[in-house]
Amino acid sequence: DADVTQTPRNRITKTGKRIMLECSQTKGHDRMYWYRQDPGLGLRLIYYSFDVKDINKGEISDGYSVSRQAQAKFSLSLESAIPNQTALYFCATSDPGTGTTEAFFGQGTRLTVV
Amino acid sequence: SQELEQSPQSLIVQEGKNLTINCTSSKTLYGLYWYKQKYGEGLIFLMMLQKGGEEKSHEKITAKLDEKKQQSSLHITASQPSHAGIYLCGADQGEAGNNRKLIWGLGTSLAVNP
């Protein structure tokens, strides 16, 4: 089983719909991240959480919200999806206790907004 | 401008040829990570470099960190079709306190022709 699991893996939704992407991890890491990846733009950080009570905006948080339900779960919501939110979304975790910022990624969720 | 520049953006090589991908930071590096991504899939950790002059190898892939130049290079010897994918570098630029996060290059797309 994957250490970082994202659901769904693929999703097509209509403009204006609310959608939630879920991420769960079995690594026991406090830190979790949501990124989106677009061709030519690389990985961009949407939100990150350093523990259950800590939520921070990343570089492109507009149009998104997150919920850290537990140490192991971090979900990303698009309140009213728009076509330019079509992208590949990644969840990641890291453990500051290692003294590094090595990130462990989920397999990604491909979201298409039509 | 991008804080972490990768070059080249894309590369097509003949099977068996050697190749090098570079990652250059505009700021001091405290750690440099290389990941590989198969098209449309998740990111797989390759190597982490933390000390100037450090060099690590995994199978036919070697990465080096030049602290003075704030640069890392990834070298693939005798490339194979299985090496194809997107190579991403991530850098820990050592933000103060607990705010350390990775920043990312835009990736290098590698194709290996049989």
Instruction: Write the pLDDT tens digit of every residue in B57-73.
Output: 988 999 999 988 889 99
Tokens 């309140």 label which residue? A79
pLDDT at B59: 84
pLDDT surpassing 80 at residue B93: no
Q: How many CB atoms lie within 10 A of CB B63?
A: 23
Return d(Cα A57, Cα A48) in angstroms, integer. 6
Residue of B27, B67, B30 whose CA lies nearest to A99: B30
The secondary structure of A42-65 as a DSSP string is EEEEEEEEEETTEEEE-TT-TTEE
Which class for A92: exposed (0-12), middle (13-18), buried (19 or more C-beta within 10 A)?
buried
pLDDT at A111: 97
pLDDT surpassing 90 at residue B42: no
pLDDT at A25: 96
Give, in degrees to the nearest 5, the angle at Cα A83 between B37 and A104.
25
pLDDT surpassing 90 at residue A73: yes
pLDDT at B94: 63
pLDDT at A103: 86
Q: How far is B106 from chain A (nearest CA, A)?
A: 4
Rounded to the nearest integer, the mean pLDDT of chain B is 88
Tokens, residue A76: 């990303």
- Interface touch A103/B100, C-beta < 8 Å: no
pLDDT at A1: 60
Chain B contact present for A11, CB below 8 A: no
Q: How far is B49 from chain A (nearest CA, A)?
A: 10
Lowest mean pLDDT among A41-45, A106-110, B16-20: A41-45
Q: What is the arithmetic mean of pLDDT over A12-18? A: 97
- In the chain, the amino acid numbered B87 is Y
Tokens, residue A12: 């097509």
Say how many CB pairs under 8 Å bridge A and B.
48
Tokens, residue B76: 């693939």
- What are the φ and ψ backbone dihedral angles of B40, each rounded to 5 degrees? 75, 5
% of residues, chain A, pLDDT over 70: 96
Q: How many CB atoms lie within 10 A of CB B31?
A: 20
pLDDT at B85: 94
Return d(Cα A30, Cα A48) in angstroms, integer. 11
Chain B contact present for A45, CB below 8 A: yes
**Nearest residue on chain B to A107, judged by CA atoms?**
B42
Rounded to a whole number of angstroms, the CA Rg of chain A reads 13
